[in-house]
Structure 1
Amino acid sequence: MKAAIIFACLLAVAFARPEASIVRQDSDVQPEGYKFDFETSDGTKHASDGQLKDIGSDHEAIVVRGSYSWVDEKTGEKFTLNYIADENGFQPQGAHLPVAPVA
């Protein structure tokens, strides 16, 4: 199942940018986690790893950490998004993302 999700993500990226080709790709899928990273010819990079936690309990979940970067076609500016997805939801961080005001 995890391998199918990873394949679907890579396929979506490939179709979203038909002029770019994958120049590097690595993946390792294990029963209790996975790692993958790839780079395309246009400079896009994505790396992610996920690990199961609380295995065998009612609270079993996967914790995913990753990073995604790309170069804006119009400005040439490089963007990087780091993220964690766990029991607290998807938590992105990046210099280009808006920040909520402090209460």
Structure 2
Amino acid sequence: MVSLVILFALFGCTLGQYKPNVASSPEAAARILSQSQDGPNPDGSYAWSYETDNGISARENGVPKAADTLAAQGEFKFTALDGTPIQLIYVADENGFQPQGAHLPTPPPIPDAILKSLEYNAQHPEEDDSQNPGLRSG
């Protein structure tokens, strides 16, 4: 029985030293070049930022707008695996998270016929109710 325990202990020690041959990514060894943090302050405002030696950087600042609403704005930058530089600028407030960046998908353009129809409807609101009496509110 003792020899079985010793055998399992040796096996466990050997297994614990096993390290698979996995290449580490540059992000795994990134060093912080600069970092700052201010707050949270008594008025609820804050600010933070950092930058690493592999080109990643981020910053954000925020202030309370109401008892239950915080307005924050910031940005982050990095290089994607395919070499594309990514920069995202954002605002987050009572209107939600509003990101902007060249890499973000955009909706397709609205077809001309639909645009003309929307413009016509905006210029002739009285015709909307007369054509569909069942849709009237009241």
TM-score of the aligned structures, taking structure 1 as reference length:
0.71
Superposed, which structure 2 residues align to 1:1-103 within 5 Å?
Answer: 17-29=27-39, 30-31=41-42, 32-55=44-67, 60-75=68-83, 77-103=84-110
Give 1:49's aligned amino acid: N
Q: Which has the higher helix share?
A: 2
The alignment's C-alpha RMSD in Å is 1.5
TM-score of the aligned structures, taking structure 2 as reference length:
0.54
More contact order relative to length (CA 8 Å, sep ≥ 6): 1
Q: Distance in 2 between matches of 1:102 and 1:72?
A: 27
Q: Which residue of 2 aligns with 1:12?
A: none
Q: Distance in 2 between matches of 1:36 and 1:101?
A: 36
Q: Distance in 2 between matches of 1:85 and 1:102?
A: 26
Q: Which residue of 1 aligns with 2:8?
A: none
Moved over 4 A (4+): none
Q: Which has the higher strand share?
A: 1
Give 2:38's aligned amino acid: D
1:89 shift after superposition: 1.4
Q: Distance in 2 between matches of 1:102 and 1:34?
A: 39
How many residues are paired up?
A: 82
Q: Distance in 2 between matches of 1:22 and 1:69?
A: 14
Q: Distance in 1 between matches of 2:99 and 2:105?
A: 11
Pick the structure with greater CA Rg. 2
Give unmatched runs, 5+ long, in structure 2. 1-26, 111-138
Q: Distance in 2 between matches of 1:54 and 1:91?
A: 19
